[in-house]
Each structure stands twice: as structure tokens, then as C-alpha cells.
Chain A
Amino acid sequence: MAITESRAGSRLLRYKMVRPGAALVWFLLFAGGLVMMTPIIYMLATSLKDASQVYDLQFIPSAPTLDNYITLLTDGRFSRWLANSAFVAVAVTLSNLFFDSLVGYTLAKFRFRGRSIVFIAILSTLMIPTEMLVIPWYLMARDMGWLNSYWGIMFPGMMTAFGTFLMKQFFEGIPDDFLEAARVDGMNEFQIWWRIAMPLVAPALSALATFTFLNNWTAFIWPLIVTSDPELYTMPVGLSSFSVENSVQWEMIMTGASVATIPTLLVFLVLQRYIVRGVMMGGLK
């Protein structure tokens, strides 16, 4: 606490020392931020225009209309793709939260022969790029009849080495005494993990959830390969094929792109603090 205060104080001091330039720096940062947001703002603005206004390139539509959204969402395909993406991303995220933390916990808190081999083996899969595995996965999915199924889209990501490693780091920070006390109280090992250890790593779980959800919500190459039935497309695959089909109707493409983007924007506005912290955590561990 004291550290934070003195830090803030000296930061203020530093800010004051560079005061003449500070206003300019602030302005440039703000302008850069606006440039960063331009594609997103333009996309949203154009999604509110009808075909006749697309070429006016106005930032604020002169006659905003939700017609494009109504057309898209009543068409059925986009709602279906949204639902597919939401289902796939949520299911994969839950699986990762469960399994990555279970494995991370086991590797952090259990002593047994083979522990380090399992850890190194899992960690080494970080080096294997998805693109190398898509061909074998495709063959596997074909042979098992998983093409064009939710399971087919989801199975490669059900557990990740990144998540396991992240969770292991955090479980190592929990004192053994906590777990021992629960053992004395007669809890079994599963209960100790689920009821005692898991709540203690909630920040790490939210970081893992953020990364996993985002990765799966935006995933493109694997869903593109494993699905050919439009009913099973995820949002990015659906949007891609829709945009190719309607390649001159930019207002519709921008509406589709907005539909794919708005959900993550809303989630960010609500959970901004946790998401930024989670990204920092995931990046630094």
C-alpha cells in the first residue's frame, strides 16, 4: 500500500517534470488511439448505413438504420454461426478450466514417479504448431466420423499445455498447510482440489478463461478445415464464406463483421479490468 502511494507520488512528480511535452504526448497518444479504433468505428458506422450511403464515407451515418442487422439475423445463418461459436468457445473454455487446472494442480502438489516426465512431455507440445497437426487431425476426424460435428471442431483444444503451465505456476504458490488441513478434516483429494485449491487461484482461472475463449471465438483455420456444412460453421468461417458470396455489398459485410465483433466488445466493456490483468498474467508467467 505504502509502496503504491510512493510510486504514484513519484510518478506524478515525473509527469510534472516533463510537463511542457506532456500535453503534446497525451495528444499524440490520444490521436494514435483514435487511429487504432478507426477500423472498428468505421465498421460499426457502415453497418448502420443502407447500400446508398456506403460510399459517402461519413463517420456518423446520416440516416442510421438497423435494417442490415435485421436482414442478417433473420436470415438464420448468422444466428446459427453465432450460436455455434458461442457453444464451441464456452465448451472448450470449460474443459480447459477443468483439465488444465487439474493437471497443473497434480503436477504442482503431488509427489510421484513420472511426474517430471509428464510435465516435460506436456510442456514440449507447446513447440508443436497447430498447422503441423491439422492434416493428421483431419484424417483422425475423417476416420472417426467427426467431420462436420461440434466435437470435431472442439477436440484438438480440449486441453492446452499453455493453460496447464499457467495453472501449475499458480498452484505452486498455495501453501501445503492449507491442503493438509483439509486432509485432516477428511476431505478426499478431489474435494481438496475443487473446494480448497481452486478458489485460491480464481485470478489465474479468469486469465485462462479469457485466453481460451478469445482463441476459440476467433479460431479460423481448424474450423475451416473440419466443417464443410454451413450449419456447422463457426462465426469466422461463416463470415468468410458470406463475405466471398456478397463481395460487393460492403454494408452487409461490415454488418457481418460487426456481429462477429460486438460480443467480444461487450464482454470487454464489462470485464475490462479482469481481461487486461489476465492478459498481463498470461503473458508474463
Chain B
Amino acid sequence: MTLDNAKLRDAAASRVSRFSLHQKHVMWAWAFLVLPVLFYGVVRFWPTLNAFWLSLTDWSLFGVPNFIGLENYQRLLDDPAFWQVFRNTFAYLVIGTPVSLVLSFVVAYQLDRVRFMHGFIRAMYFIPFLTTAVAMAWVWRWFYQPVPIGLINNLLAAIGLPQQPFLRSTDQALLAVLAPAIWAGLGFQIVIFMAGLRAIPETYYEAARVDGLSPAAILFRITIPLLKNTTIFLVVFSSIGFLRIFDQVYNMTTGDPGGPLNSTKPLVLTIYQSAFSSFEMGYAAAQTVVLFSILLATSLLQLYLMRDR
């Protein structure tokens, strides 16, 4: 009798304590999450909705926003300057991504086999990734100056080649701005490619050699296919970076923002100017929605391609 009672009490106690344990567990979880949830709500989701709402108004920073429907978007479509910006933005992407991926893959592939001074050579490629884009934009801007200031034109003169206008030419300015962006991103891509190469099991290579595959066949039939996910990640990562290019353009073309005839102007610089030079907040917000849509499409494409495997 006493024994049974004790058992019952134990059982009840353990049930009570287990129940309260779980409740405590949940309370701890929400205690940990309360500030972060508040943060993401106020600093991420609310501003996102706000940007969508502002894109439907004529707000100009001062005064009251009036709802004008899709007028801002209509204005974007009708504006040839915006189409120029749109083309520039995609030019950064379409040139920048393949060039930087091919370069970084070639370097990573070769560097992976090099043992002599491996760390030192890797560091030489990686260090530009750690630089400040603003600082390097000015260094490159200096390189592009005409003789006697600029390094590149001096080199060209020394070997008897014609001088190049670089940032002053509508043909070359975009490429001149793109170069430091590619340069700064290479180190990151090389390191990621090398991590991907290391992750390929050595047995695959051994099997291929036993089968008598040539080095080129190994590269194209084993290495590159097995790097698919690394490559997709880098394509998307660098595409998003080029679509958002700003620091280099802003600093390399301060005298003439957006370069000669807006030939270097990307979407983000347009957004910055609409919002903080002309104070057309509604119009700028519509441009950010366009940027958001492009980036979203890029990210969703990545998810789709990754799911395939």
C-alpha cells in the first residue's frame, strides 16, 4: 500500500516534471528568439514591404506619399536612360561572371597540383579579396590615367603601343570599371574551387588512371562534372555580385558619375542617384523592386539547378 502510493507519487511527479520540462524548453527557445524575431521583422520584412509600397507612390522625401499605381514602373519602361542602365548591368554580369570563373578555375586547377610555395602563391591570389573596393577603385583609376601619370599607358608607350583612353571612352569605360571587380573576386573563387577539388575522392582519379584516361579526359569527364555544385554556387554568387556593382563605379567615375554618356552606370548607382541626389524616393523604390526581381530570379534558378542532383 505504502509502496504503491510511493510509486504513484513518483509517476505523477515525473509526469509533472517532464511536462514542465518541455514547457520550460519551449520558453527558453522563445526567450532566445524574441529579440531576433523582432529584429528580422523590423529591419528586414517591414522595410521590404515598405519598399514595395513606396514604389507605388510619388514620394519625394519631403511631403506626403501619394498612391500613383504603376506610374513609376511605366516611367522606367519609357525611359531610354533606364534601358541603357539595364544593358550596362547585364554587361557587367555577362562579361564578369564567365571571365572570372574561367580564370579562377584555371588557376585553382593548376595551383591544386603545385606543392612548391603553394601557400605563398595562393596568398598572392587571395589577398586582393581582402582589400577595400573603394581603395582599390582609386588605385585602378590611377593606373588608367593618361601619360605621364598612369601605369598602363606608360607601359603601352614603353613598348610602342597606342595610348588608350580607358575611363574616358564609351567603349572601354565599362570594362575598365569591371576589371578591378573581377580582380578582387578571383581569390575567393579560387579558394572555393580548390576546396571543391579537394572534396573529389582520390579513388575516382585512380580508377580513371587504371582505365587509361588521358589527363584531358579526366578533367572533362570527372573533375568538371563533379564540381557542378561548386560551380553553380560560384556562378550565382558572382552574378549577384556583378548585378549589384556599385563601389567601383561610384569611385572611378566621381567626376562624371556613371561614366561618359552613362556608359558605366549600373542599376545600383541609378537607385542611389534617384533616391539621394534627386530625392525621388518612389521612383528609386521602383528601381529597387526591379533589382530585387532580377536577383530573386537568379537565386531561384540556383535552387532549381541544385535540386536537379
Contacts and interface: CB of A to CB of B under 8 A. Distances in A.
Contacts of B154: 57
B292 A128 contact: yes
Interface in B165-213: 180, 183, 186-188, 191-192, 194-196, 202, 205-206
B142 A128 contact: no
A125 interface: yes
Which of under 10, 10 to 19, 20 to 34, or 35 or more describes the interface residues of B?
A: 35 or more
Nearest to A155: B43
Nearest to B33: A106
Interface string B19-37: 0000001101110110111
B79 to A, nearest CB: 19
Contacts of B292: 128-129, 132
A52 interface: no
A125 B45 contact: yes
Contacts of B148: 55
A102 B35 CA distance: 11
Interface in A219-238: 220-221, 224-225, 235-237
A240 B251 contact: yes
Given A14-B113, A57-B154, A131-B268, A39 B247 contact: no
Which of B51, B54, B139 has the most chain A CB atoms closer than 10 A to its own CB? B139
Nearest to B25: A110
Nearest to A239: B134
A103 B116 CA distance: 43
Contact of A55 (B138, B149, B296): B149
B306 interface: no
A12 B124 contact: no
Interface in A237-254: 237, 239-240, 243-244, 247, 250, 253-254
B124 A26 contact: no
Interface string A13-26: 01100100010011
A133 B44 contact: yes
Interface string A27-61: 01110111011011011000000000011010000
A122 B111 CA distance: 37
A116 to B, nearest CB: 13
B69 interface: no
A235 B132 contact: yes
Interface in A87-110: 99, 102-103, 105-106, 110
B271 A257 contact: no
B29 A110 contact: yes
B134 A260 contact: yes
Contact of B233 (A34, A42, A158, A283): A283
Contacts of B125: 32-33, 36
Contacts of B255: 247
Nearest to B230: A284
Contact of B135 (A105, A115, A260): A260
B258 to A, nearest CB: 15
Contact of B138 (A189, A257, A268, A272): A257
B143 to A, nearest CB: 7
B299 to A, nearest CB: 6
B47 A140 contact: yes
A264 interface: yes
A125 B246 CA distance: 21
Interface string A180-211: 00000000111001000000000000000000
Given A29-B114, A239-B134, A221 B268 contact: yes
A221 B246 contact: yes
B142 A250 contact: yes
B271 A11 contact: no
A78 interface: no
Contact of A284 (B123, B131, B134, B195): B195
Interface of B: 25-26, 28-30, 32-33, 35-37, 39-40, 43-48, 50-51, 54, 107, 110-111, 113-117, 119, 121-136, 138-140, 142-143, 148-149, 151, 154, 180, 183, 186-188, 191-192, 194-196, 202, 205-206, 215, 230, 233, 237, 240, 244, 246-247, 250-251, 254-255, 268, 271-272, 275-276, 281, 284-285, 288-289, 291-292, 295-296, 299
Given A218-B131, A220-B134, 18 more contacts: A6-B202, A14-B205, A18-B113, A18-B215, A25-B114, A28-B110, A29-B110, A103-B33, A110-B25, A125-B45, A127-B295, A131-B246, A135-B284, A188-B28, A236-B133, A250-B149, A257-B135, A283-B195
20 contacts: A10-B206, A15-B115, A22-B114, A25-B110, A30-B124, A39-B180, A43-B135, A110-B29, A111-B25, A128-B292, A129-B240, A159-B36, A225-B272, A239-B135, A240-B250, A250-B149, A254-B138, A279-B129, A279-B188, A279-B192
Interface of A: 3, 6-7, 10-12, 14-15, 18, 22, 25-26, 28-30, 32-34, 36-37, 39-40, 42-43, 54-55, 57, 99, 102-103, 105-106, 110-113, 115, 118, 121-122, 125-140, 155-156, 158-159, 164, 188-190, 193, 214, 217-218, 220-221, 224-225, 235-237, 239-240, 243-244, 247, 250, 253-254, 256-258, 260-261, 264-265, 268, 272, 275-276, 279-280, 283-284
**8 residue pairs, one from A and one from B, having the closest CB atoms:** A33-B124, A136-B47, A257-B135, A110-B29, A236-B134, A189-B28, A136-B50, A132-B288
